[in-house]
Amino acid sequence: MKAMRPALRKSGAVLRSSRVAGQGSVRTFRSDLVGTDVWRQHGKDEFAFARAQEYENFRPETVKVAVTGAAGAIGYSLLFRIASGEMFGKNQRVQIRAIELPFAMESLRGVAMELQDCAFPLLEGVLCTDDLARGFDDVDVALLVGSKPRGKGQERGDLIKENGLIFAPTGKALNKYARDCVKVVTVGNPANTNCLIAASNAPDIPRENFTAMTRLDHDRALGELAKKADCLVTDIQNFCIWGNHSPTMFPDLSNATIKGVKAMDALAAANAGEDIQKWYTESFIPTVQQRGAAIIEARGASSAASAANACLAHARDWESASYKNWLSMAVPSEGNSYGVPDGLMFSFPVTVENEQYKIVEGLPKFDTFAQQKIEATTKELLQERDFVSNLLPN
């Protein structure tokens, strides 16, 4: 199966295989579920474009998106937005591979029926399966939403180990069946370490193609800042989340600006007489860190819709040609300049260009407070890695 796909991956680049209709090996599933594979040009190189011009009626190849845990609350919120074109644009056709556990297949069938009833013009088909081989076969994007939730009284270390038994086979299946250039977004918690396990079990896929989602934490923080500063979220620049998607994460304002003014100064001006430093350390940071628990307490269920929105935004902005404002993404820590050890999936500030993310480098040295926060979240991720060391072959 691997040998059938052209190897177009280049060092340091994230590319997809490009194929022309009628040329080379083309795979299809059931004809009543999906359309025919056709050409989609990603590299935009002159050779590929010249070949495409030989065909009068070529059109973009369908993007194949796999979603695990597709019948769950997050998956349910996510699938319809993918099908509508919100993730890849209003001219890009999509095919959804919805993956679930055997006991949830009937529920998933109902979700697929609803998707069909929406008659989305861009949706070529939905494949419902409990087989990772079928679900990941030749996919461009994999959204790893499904994971085992934390049980009452369960220790975090035990949860991590149990999820490791899910994400190790997931990584192996991606390695065997997905495109070598697949982009992976890990949503299921504990997201950073689940992502590390999957990546470590997929040696043929570049490590940088695996990311974990801290976009929800990022967006939660932007919402809090916009409310406090009485501004739009688009007025806020250069904010980021460092570290783990957990209560140890560090929401960092030290480089942020609001309408071009240093964030702390802008917040002080908007809240005259208030101790903004105290608000930052004793209110803002804990609020962002504990927001998920607060939502569960308020509505009796986890934050599914906002998590789905963050997943969509993470994948969409990674696909964007250029995104100069900072995003927060948990990515491989190798080679960073901030003292974070190699071998972790760690949230950094990143920018995106040509469908590739890049860690923002050259920031001022952390002050004592920030350094302590970075060290705390790093320590937690190192402990999590130790919990699952037996599942990290690569």
Q: What is the pTM of this model?
A: 0.85
Residue 282 lies in a domain: yes
Residue 48 pLDDT greater than 80, yes or no: no
Burial (CB count within 10 angstroms: exposed 0-12, middle 13-18, buried 19+), residue 157:
middle
Residue 31: pLDDT band (50, 70, 90) is: very low
- Top mean pLDDT of 18-22, 37-41, 255-259, 297-301 is at 255-259
**Angle in degrees, CA 343, 348, 351, rounded to 5:** 120
Q: Residues 87-94: what's their mean pLDDT?
A: 93
Compute the distance between CA of residue 65 and CA of residue 76 in angstroms, rounded to an integer: 14
Contact (Cβ atoms closer than 8 angstroms) between residue 289 and residue 260 = no
Whether residue 243 contacts residue 250, with contact meaning beta carbons closer than 8 Å, is answered with yes
User: In this structure, are 336 and 382 located in the same domain?
Assistant: yes
Q: Are residues 224 and 155 in the same domain?
A: no
User: What would the two tokens of residue 270 be?
Assistant: 């908007």
Q: What is the mean pLDDT of the chain?
A: 86
Tell which residue, 39, 144, 163, has the closest CA to residue 97.
Answer: 144
Range of the domain at 357: 215-390
Predicted pLDDT at 152: 66
The pLDDT tens digits of the residues spanning 283-316 come to 999 999 999 889 988 998 889 999 999 999 999 9
How far, in Å, CA of 347 to CA of 327, rounded? 10
Whether 43 has a pLDDT exceeding 60, the answer reads no
Question: Which pLDDT belongs to residue 27?
Answer: 35
At 158 the pLDDT is 81
Amino acid 381: pLDDT: 98
Report yes or no on 141 lying in a domain. Answer: yes
301-324 CB burial, b ≥16 within 10 A, e <16: ebbbebbbbbbbbbbbbbbeeebe
Residues 269-288 pLDDT 10s: 999 999 999 999 999 999 99
Instruction: Looking at the structure, tell me whether residues 83 and 183 fall in a common domain.
Output: yes
Total of domains in the chain: 2
Residues marked as catalytic: 245
At residue 156, does pLDDT exceed 90? no
pLDDT per residue over 217-266, tens digit each? 999 999 999 999 999 999 999 999 999 999 999 999 999 999 999 999 99
State whether 196 and 246 are in the same domain.
no
Asked whether residue 74 falls in the same domain as residue 141, the answer is yes
d(CA 62, CA 83): 12
What pLDDT was estimated at residue 394?
62
**Domain co-membership, 201 together with 237:** no
Judge whether 23 lies within some domain: no
Residues 221 and 205 in one domain: no
Judgement on whether residues 268 and 172 belong to the same structural domain of the protein: no
For residue 178, what is the domain's CATH number? 3.40.50.720
Q: What are phi and psi of 332, to 5 degrees?
A: -55, 135
pLDDT bucket at 1, cuts 50 / 70 / 90: very low
